[in-house]
Protein backbone atom coordinates (compact mmCIF):
# COMPACT_ATOMS: atom_id res chain seq x y z
CA UNK A 1 0.00 0.00 0.00
CA UNK A 2 1.41 3.38 -1.09
CA UNK A 3 1.74 6.11 1.54
CA UNK A 4 -1.05 8.64 0.92
CA UNK A 5 -3.22 6.28 -1.13
CA UNK A 6 -6.98 6.45 -0.75
CA UNK A 7 -9.36 3.49 -0.62
CA UNK A 8 -13.17 3.40 -0.62
CA UNK A 9 -15.02 0.90 1.58
CA UNK A 10 -18.34 0.35 3.32
CA UNK A 11 -20.02 -1.57 6.11
CA UNK A 12 -23.72 -2.21 5.38
CA UNK A 13 -23.58 0.73 2.92
CA UNK A 14 -22.21 3.14 5.54
CA UNK A 15 -19.33 4.25 3.31
CA UNK A 16 -15.92 5.72 4.04
CA UNK A 17 -12.80 7.09 2.40
CA UNK A 18 -9.67 5.60 3.99
CA UNK A 19 -6.33 7.43 3.83
CA UNK A 20 -3.18 5.34 4.24
CA UNK A 21 -0.96 7.50 6.47
CA UNK A 22 0.96 5.12 8.77
CA UNK A 23 3.47 7.70 10.01
CA UNK A 24 1.21 10.76 10.23
CA UNK A 25 2.70 12.66 7.29
CA UNK A 26 -0.55 13.91 5.72
CA UNK A 27 -2.60 16.78 7.11
CA UNK A 28 -6.27 15.92 7.47
CA UNK A 29 -7.92 19.24 8.25
CA UNK A 30 -11.71 19.77 8.08
CA UNK A 31 -11.56 21.34 4.60
CA UNK A 32 -9.76 18.32 3.15
CA UNK A 33 -12.17 15.92 4.84
CA UNK A 34 -15.12 17.75 3.30
CA UNK A 35 -13.36 17.71 -0.08
CA UNK A 36 -12.81 13.96 0.04
CA UNK A 37 -16.29 13.16 1.38
CA UNK A 38 -18.16 15.31 -1.16
CA UNK A 39 -20.24 12.99 -3.36
CA UNK A 40 -20.23 15.33 -6.37
CA UNK A 41 -16.72 16.77 -6.46
CA UNK A 42 -14.77 14.27 -4.33
CA UNK A 43 -14.73 10.53 -3.77
CA UNK A 44 -17.78 10.60 -1.52
CA UNK A 45 -18.47 9.03 1.85
CA UNK A 46 -20.24 9.31 5.18
CA UNK A 47 -16.83 9.81 6.78
CA UNK A 48 -13.06 9.76 6.31
CA UNK A 49 -10.75 7.38 8.18
CA UNK A 50 -7.02 7.94 8.46
CA UNK A 51 -5.13 4.66 8.86
CA UNK A 52 -2.29 5.67 11.17
CA UNK A 53 -0.05 3.95 13.70
CA UNK A 54 -1.14 4.71 17.25
CA UNK A 55 2.28 6.05 18.21
CA UNK A 56 2.22 8.52 15.28
CA UNK A 57 -1.17 10.09 16.11
CA UNK A 58 0.25 12.75 18.42
CA UNK A 59 -2.68 12.59 20.84
CA UNK A 60 -3.20 11.05 24.26
CA UNK A 61 -5.65 8.55 22.75
CA UNK A 62 -2.90 7.32 20.45
CA UNK A 63 -0.45 6.98 23.32
CA UNK A 64 -3.00 4.97 25.31
CA UNK A 65 -3.70 2.71 22.34
CA UNK A 66 0.01 2.18 21.69
CA UNK A 67 0.59 1.33 25.34
CA UNK A 68 -2.24 -1.20 25.23
CA UNK A 69 -0.74 -2.99 22.24
CA UNK A 70 -2.96 -1.57 19.47
CA UNK A 71 -0.53 -0.82 16.63
CA UNK A 72 -3.14 0.85 14.41
CA UNK A 73 -5.47 3.76 15.22
CA UNK A 74 -8.75 4.63 13.50
CA UNK A 75 -8.57 8.43 13.13
CA UNK A 76 -12.21 9.04 12.19
CA UNK A 77 -13.83 12.22 10.84
CA UNK A 78 -17.46 12.92 9.94
CA UNK A 79 -18.22 14.11 6.43
CA UNK A 80 -18.46 17.73 7.66
CA UNK A 81 -14.85 17.57 8.90
CA UNK A 82 -15.63 17.21 12.60
CA UNK A 83 -13.80 14.61 14.68
CA UNK A 84 -15.94 11.73 15.97
CA UNK A 85 -15.11 9.56 18.95
CA UNK A 86 -16.27 6.31 17.43
CA UNK A 87 -17.94 4.65 14.44
CA UNK A 88 -18.99 1.01 14.67
CA UNK A 89 -19.26 0.39 10.94
CA UNK A 90 -16.05 2.34 10.46
CA UNK A 91 -14.17 0.01 12.83
CA UNK A 92 -15.26 -3.03 10.81
CA UNK A 93 -14.17 -1.43 7.54
CA UNK A 94 -10.92 -0.31 9.18
CA UNK A 95 -10.30 -3.87 10.41
CA UNK A 96 -11.07 -5.30 6.97
CA UNK A 97 -8.61 -2.81 5.45
CA UNK A 98 -5.86 -3.90 7.86
CA UNK A 99 -6.35 -7.55 6.93
CA UNK A 100 -6.83 -6.94 3.20
CA UNK A 101 -3.53 -5.08 2.89
CA UNK A 102 -1.57 -7.36 5.21
CA UNK A 103 -1.14 -4.88 8.05
CA UNK A 104 -2.42 -7.51 10.48
CA UNK A 105 -2.62 -11.28 10.02
CA UNK A 106 -4.31 -12.39 13.24
CA UNK A 107 -7.97 -13.42 13.44
CA UNK A 108 -8.30 -11.28 16.57
CA UNK A 109 -6.60 -7.94 17.13
CA UNK A 110 -6.94 -4.57 18.87
CA UNK A 111 -7.77 -1.23 17.21
CA UNK A 112 -7.22 2.18 18.79
CA UNK A 113 -10.07 4.73 18.72
CA UNK A 114 -10.89 7.96 20.57
CA UNK A 115 -13.50 5.93 22.47
CA UNK A 116 -10.87 3.47 23.70
CA UNK A 117 -9.45 0.15 22.54
CA UNK A 118 -11.78 -1.99 20.42
CA UNK A 119 -11.09 -5.72 20.09
CA UNK A 120 -11.99 -7.19 16.70
CA UNK A 121 -12.48 -10.86 15.74
CA UNK A 122 -13.12 -12.35 12.29
CA UNK A 123 -16.18 -14.68 12.46
CA UNK A 124 -18.47 -16.59 10.06
CA UNK A 125 -21.62 -14.76 9.00
CA UNK A 126 -24.18 -15.68 11.72
CA UNK A 127 -27.00 -15.05 9.21
CA UNK A 128 -25.69 -17.77 6.89
CA UNK A 129 -23.82 -15.79 4.22
CA UNK A 130 -20.49 -16.74 2.66
CA UNK A 131 -18.57 -13.55 3.48
CA UNK A 132 -16.72 -13.34 6.82
CA UNK A 133 -18.01 -10.83 9.36
CA UNK A 134 -16.13 -8.72 11.87
CA UNK A 135 -17.19 -8.83 15.50
CA UNK A 136 -16.23 -5.76 17.51
CA UNK A 137 -16.25 -5.60 21.30
CA UNK A 138 -17.75 -2.13 21.63
CA UNK A 139 -17.05 -1.94 25.36
CA UNK A 140 -19.27 -0.52 28.07
CA UNK A 141 -22.54 1.24 27.39
CA UNK A 142 -24.13 3.83 29.64
CA UNK A 143 -27.49 5.49 30.18
CA UNK A 144 -26.65 9.13 30.99
CA UNK A 145 -30.23 9.69 32.15
CA UNK A 146 -29.73 7.26 35.02
CA UNK A 147 -31.78 4.32 33.84
CA UNK A 148 -35.07 6.06 33.09
CA UNK A 149 -37.04 4.60 30.18
CA UNK A 150 -37.10 8.02 28.51
CA UNK A 151 -35.05 11.15 29.15
CA UNK A 152 -35.51 13.25 25.99
CA UNK A 153 -38.14 14.56 23.62
CA UNK A 154 -37.56 14.41 19.85
CA UNK A 155 -39.38 16.40 17.16
CA UNK A 156 -38.99 14.94 13.67
CA UNK A 157 -40.26 16.16 10.31
CA UNK A 158 -42.78 13.66 8.99
CA UNK A 159 -43.59 12.19 12.42
CA UNK A 160 -46.75 13.46 14.08
CA UNK A 161 -46.12 15.03 17.50
CA UNK A 162 -42.89 14.90 19.47
CA UNK A 163 -41.84 11.48 20.72
CA UNK A 164 -39.97 10.41 23.85
CA UNK A 165 -36.38 9.24 23.40
CA UNK A 166 -33.75 7.42 25.43
CA UNK A 167 -30.13 8.64 25.57
CA UNK A 168 -27.50 5.90 25.18
CA UNK A 169 -23.76 6.57 25.43
CA UNK A 170 -21.73 4.26 23.19
CA UNK A 171 -18.57 6.35 23.46
CA UNK A 172 -20.49 8.74 21.23
CA UNK A 173 -23.98 10.11 21.95
CA UNK A 174 -27.25 8.55 20.75
CA UNK A 175 -30.93 9.23 21.28
CA UNK A 176 -33.28 6.35 20.41
CA UNK A 177 -36.95 6.85 19.51
CA UNK A 178 -39.48 3.99 19.25
CA UNK A 179 -42.13 4.29 16.55
CA UNK A 180 -45.36 2.33 16.26
CA UNK A 181 -45.03 0.66 12.87
CA UNK A 182 -43.03 0.44 9.64
CA UNK A 183 -45.14 3.04 7.85
CA UNK A 184 -44.34 5.60 10.53
CA UNK A 185 -40.64 4.73 10.26
CA UNK A 186 -40.76 5.23 6.50
CA UNK A 187 -42.58 8.57 6.83
CA UNK A 188 -39.80 10.22 8.88
CA UNK A 189 -37.97 12.88 6.85
CA UNK A 190 -34.41 12.48 8.05
CA UNK A 191 -32.78 14.82 5.56
CA UNK A 192 -33.67 17.49 8.14
CA UNK A 193 -32.01 17.37 11.58
CA UNK A 194 -34.42 16.31 14.34
CA UNK A 195 -34.82 18.61 17.33
CA UNK A 196 -33.85 16.98 20.63
CA UNK A 197 -34.71 18.40 24.06
CA UNK A 198 -32.75 18.79 26.20
CA UNK A 199 -30.24 19.61 23.49
CA UNK A 200 -27.00 17.65 24.06
CA UNK A 201 -23.97 19.99 24.22
CA UNK A 202 -22.01 18.00 21.60
CA UNK A 203 -25.05 17.05 19.53
CA UNK A 204 -26.42 13.54 19.17
CA UNK A 205 -27.15 10.81 16.67
CA UNK A 206 -30.86 9.99 16.54
CA UNK A 207 -32.13 6.47 15.82
CA UNK A 208 -35.74 5.59 14.98
CA UNK A 209 -36.74 1.98 15.54
CA UNK A 210 -39.66 -0.39 15.14
CA UNK A 211 -39.47 -3.61 17.16
CA UNK A 212 -40.72 -6.62 15.18
CA UNK A 213 -42.19 -9.92 16.43
CA UNK A 214 -39.66 -12.73 16.85
CA UNK A 215 -40.55 -16.41 17.31
CA UNK A 216 -37.42 -17.01 19.39
CA UNK A 217 -37.80 -15.44 22.89
CA UNK A 218 -34.01 -15.30 23.31
CA UNK A 219 -33.52 -13.00 20.31
CA UNK A 220 -34.99 -9.74 19.14
CA UNK A 221 -35.47 -8.12 15.75
CA UNK A 222 -35.87 -4.45 14.95
CA UNK A 223 -35.74 -2.05 12.01
CA UNK A 224 -33.82 1.20 12.26
CA UNK A 225 -33.18 4.47 10.46
CA UNK A 226 -30.67 7.04 11.66
CA UNK A 227 -29.79 10.72 11.40
CA UNK A 228 -26.08 11.04 12.18
CA UNK A 229 -24.74 14.29 13.58
CA UNK A 230 -22.47 16.03 11.11
CA UNK A 231 -23.66 13.81 8.25
CA UNK A 232 -27.45 13.48 7.93
CA UNK A 233 -29.31 10.26 7.21
CA UNK A 234 -27.02 7.32 6.45
CA UNK A 235 -27.80 3.79 5.30
CA UNK A 236 -26.44 2.34 8.53
CA UNK A 237 -24.75 3.23 11.82
CA UNK A 238 -22.92 0.62 13.90
CA UNK A 239 -22.96 2.42 17.24
CA UNK A 240 -26.54 3.44 16.45
CA UNK A 241 -27.51 -0.21 15.96
CA UNK A 242 -25.95 -0.97 19.35
CA UNK A 243 -27.79 1.93 20.98
CA UNK A 244 -31.07 0.82 19.38
CA UNK A 245 -30.74 -2.76 20.61
CA UNK A 246 -29.81 -1.51 24.07
CA UNK A 247 -32.83 0.79 24.18
CA UNK A 248 -35.10 -2.09 23.17
CA UNK A 249 -33.45 -4.23 25.85
CA UNK A 250 -34.06 -1.53 28.48
CA UNK A 251 -37.69 -1.09 27.41
CA UNK A 252 -38.16 -4.88 27.66
CA UNK A 253 -37.22 -4.68 31.34
CA UNK A 254 -33.53 -5.74 31.25
CA UNK A 255 -34.48 -8.99 33.00
CA UNK A 256 -34.32 -12.66 31.95
CA UNK A 257 -37.27 -12.10 29.62
CA UNK A 258 -35.45 -9.37 27.67
CA UNK A 259 -33.57 -10.60 24.57
CA UNK A 260 -29.81 -10.02 24.71
CA UNK A 261 -29.15 -10.83 21.04
CA UNK A 262 -30.68 -8.56 18.40
CA UNK A 263 -30.71 -8.49 14.62
CA UNK A 264 -30.92 -4.88 13.48
CA UNK A 265 -32.14 -4.30 9.93
CA UNK A 266 -31.07 -0.99 8.37
CA UNK A 267 -31.46 0.32 4.81
CA UNK A 268 -27.87 -0.80 4.11
CA UNK A 269 -28.20 -4.30 5.57
CA UNK A 270 -28.36 -6.28 8.80
CA UNK A 271 -25.99 -6.46 11.77
CA UNK A 272 -26.01 -8.57 14.93
CA UNK A 273 -25.85 -7.05 18.43
CA UNK A 274 -25.00 -9.08 21.56
CA UNK A 275 -25.49 -7.61 25.04
CA UNK A 276 -23.50 -9.10 27.92
CA UNK A 277 -24.06 -7.24 31.17
CA UNK A 278 -22.55 -3.78 30.82
CA UNK A 279 -20.83 -4.48 27.50
CA UNK A 280 -22.06 -4.89 23.93
CA UNK A 281 -20.65 -6.44 20.75
CA UNK A 282 -21.38 -5.52 17.13
CA UNK A 283 -21.00 -7.99 14.25
CA UNK A 284 -21.37 -7.26 10.55
CA UNK A 285 -19.78 -7.36 7.11
CA UNK A 286 -17.20 -5.02 5.59
CA UNK A 287 -16.20 -4.44 1.95
CA UNK A 288 -13.35 -2.66 0.14
CA UNK A 289 -14.83 -1.34 -3.11
CA UNK A 290 -11.96 0.41 -4.93
CA UNK A 291 -8.62 2.21 -4.74
CA UNK A 292 -7.68 5.73 -5.86
CA UNK A 293 -4.17 6.34 -7.19
CA UNK A 294 -2.15 9.17 -5.59
CA UNK A 295 -2.05 11.30 -8.76
CA UNK A 296 -5.82 11.76 -8.44
CA UNK A 297 -5.62 13.16 -4.91
CA UNK A 298 -6.28 16.82 -4.11
CA UNK A 299 -3.15 18.69 -3.06
CA UNK A 300 -2.34 18.23 0.62
Cβ neighbourhood burial of 44 (10 Å; 0-12, 13-18, 19+): middle
Query: Which of 48, 237, 282, 286 is an active site residue?
Result: 237
User: Does 89 belong to an annotated binding site?
Assistant: yes
User: Does 78 belong to an annotated binding site?
Assistant: yes
Cis peptide before 70 (omega within 30 of 0): no
User: Does 145 belong to an annotated binding site?
Assistant: no
279-284 and 133-140 beta bridge pairing: antiparallel
Residue 276 β-bridge partners: 279
Query: Which of 33, 37, 74, 87 is an active site residue?
Result: 87
Q: Are the beta carbons of 115 and 85 closer than 8 angstroms? A: yes
User: Does 23 belong to an annotated binding site?
Assistant: no
Determine the distance from the C-alpha atom of residue 234 to the mean position of all C-alpha atoms in its chain, rounded to a whole number.
10
User: Does 172 belong to an annotated binding site?
Assistant: yes
CA dihedral 228, 166, 250, 266 (to 10 degrees): -20
Q: Say whether 242 is catalytic.
A: no
Q: What residues have CB less than 8 Å from 82, skipping those under 6 apart?
A: 30, 230
User: Does 171 belong to an annotated binding site?
Assistant: no
User: Does 205 belong to an annotated binding site?
Assistant: yes
User: Does 238 belong to an annotated binding site?
Assistant: yes
Q: Are the beta carbons of 103 and 28 closer than 8 angstroms? A: no
List residues forming the annotated binding site.
14, 78, 88-89, 172, 205, 228-229, 238-239
Report the catalytic residues: 87, 237
Residues contributing to the annotated binding site for substrate:
14, 78, 88-89, 172, 205, 228-229, 238-239
Amino acid sequence: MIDGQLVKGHGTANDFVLLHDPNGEHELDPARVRELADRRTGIGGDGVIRVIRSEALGEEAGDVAHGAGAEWFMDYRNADGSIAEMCGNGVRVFAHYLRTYGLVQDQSFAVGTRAGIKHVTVIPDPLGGDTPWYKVDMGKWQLPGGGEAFDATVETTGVRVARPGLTVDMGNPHTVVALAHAEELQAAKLHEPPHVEPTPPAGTNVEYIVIEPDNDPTTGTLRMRVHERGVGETYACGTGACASALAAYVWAGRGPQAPTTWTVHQPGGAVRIEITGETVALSGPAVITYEVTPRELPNS
